Amino acid sequence: MDPGRSPPVQPFPSVADDRAHGLQAVVDSGLMTARMSSQNTARNIGTGSADGVRRHFASDNYAGITPEAWAALAEANQDHEPAYGNDRWTQAAADRIRDLFETPCEVFFVFNGTAANSLALATCCQSYHSVLCHEVAHVEKDECGAPEFFSNGSKLLLLPGDLGKLTPAGIEEAVRRRTDLHYPKPKVVTVTEPTEVGTLYTPQELRAIGAMTKKHGLRFHMDGARFANAVAALGVAPREITWQAGVDVLSFGGTKNGIHVGETVVFFNLELAEEFAYRAKQAGQLCSKMRFMSAPWVGMLRDGVWLRHAAHANAMASLLHELIAPCPGVRVLFPRQVNSVFVDLPKPVIQALWDKGWLFYNFIGEGGCRLMCSWDTREEDVRAFAADLRECAGG
Ligand X SMILES: Cc1ncc(COP(=O)(O)O)c(C=O)c1O
Write out the H or E segment, with its range, that includes residue 106: strand 106-110
Q: Does residue 223 touch ligand X according to CB under 6 A? A: yes
Q: By CB under 6 A, tell whether 213 contacts ligand X.
A: no
Are 103 and 96 within 8 A, CB to CB? no
Does 193 participate in binding ligand X (rule CB under 6 A)? no
Residue nearest to ligand X (CB): 113
Is 205 a binding residue for ligand X by CB under 6 A? The answer is: no
Nearer to ligand X, 194 or 246 (CB): 194
Q: Is residue 362 a contact residue for ligand X (CB under 6 A)?
A: no
296 belongs to the binding site for ligand X (CB under 6 A): no
Contacts of 192 (CB under 8 A, 6+ apart): 134, 137, 138, 164, 222, 223, 224, 225
Integer CA distances (angstroms), 236 to 65, 100, 110, 191, 306, in order: 25, 12, 26, 18, 14
Could you tell me how many helices (H) and strands (E) the chain has, helices first? 14, 11
Query: Between 112 and 123, whose beta carbon lies closer to ligand X?
Result: 112
What's the min distance (Å) between Cβ of 113 and ligand X?
2
Q: With CB under 6 A, what is the number of residues at the site for ligand X?
A: 10
Question: Which residues partner with 342 through β-bridges?
Answer: 370
Angle formed at CA 106 by CA 104 and CA 107, multiple of 5 degrees = 125
Toward ligand X, which CB reaches closer, 124 or 386?
A: 124
Residue 244: DSSP 8-state: G
Binding segment for ligand X among 7-15, 109-117, 234-242, 284-292 (CB under 6 A)? 109-117
d(CA 129, CA 124): 9
**From 6, 29, 337, 340, residue interacting with ligand X (rule: CB under 6 A):** 29
CB of 20 to ligand X, least distance (A): 25
Is 340 a binding residue for ligand X by CB under 6 A? The answer is no
227: left (phi over 0), alpha (psi -120 to 50) or beta: alpha
CA 8 – CA 34 distance, rounded (Å): 12
For ligand X, the binding residue among 90, 112, 257, 264 (CB under 6 A) is 112
Give the SS3 label for residue 381.
helix
User: Which range binds ligand X by CB under 6 A, 42-50, 107-115, 153-161, 230-238?
Assistant: 107-115
> Per-residue DSSP letters for 37-66?
-S-GGGTTBSSSSTTSBPP-SS-GGGS---
Q: How far is the CB of 196 from ligand X (least distance, A)?
A: 5
Least Cα distance to 255 among 60, 10, 58, 32 occurs for 60
- Nearest CA among 226, 222, 164 for reference residue 196: 164
Answer yes or no whether residue 357 interacts with ligand X by CB under 6 A.
no
Choice from 190, 192, 229, 257 touching ligand X (CB under 6 A): 192
CB 262 within 8 A of CB 300: no
Smaller CB distance to ligand X: residue 159 or 386?
A: 159
CA angle 308, 313, 315 (to 5 degrees): 90
* Beta carbon nearer to ligand X, 175 or 233: 233
In the bound complex, what is the minimum distance in angstroms from residue 199's beta carbon to ligand X?
A: 12
> Which range touches ligand X (CB under 6 A), out of 65-73, 110-118, 124-132, 311-319?
110-118
Q: Work out whether 118 is an interface residue with ligand X (CB under 6 A).
A: no
- Can residue 257 be called a binding residue for ligand X (CB under 6 A)? no
**Residue of 138, 219, 312, 336 interacting with ligand X (CB under 6 A):** 138
Span of 111-119, 169-177, 200-208, 270-278 interacting with ligand X by CB under 6 A: 111-119
Binding site for ligand X (CB under 6 A): 29, 112-114, 138, 192, 196, 223, 225, 255
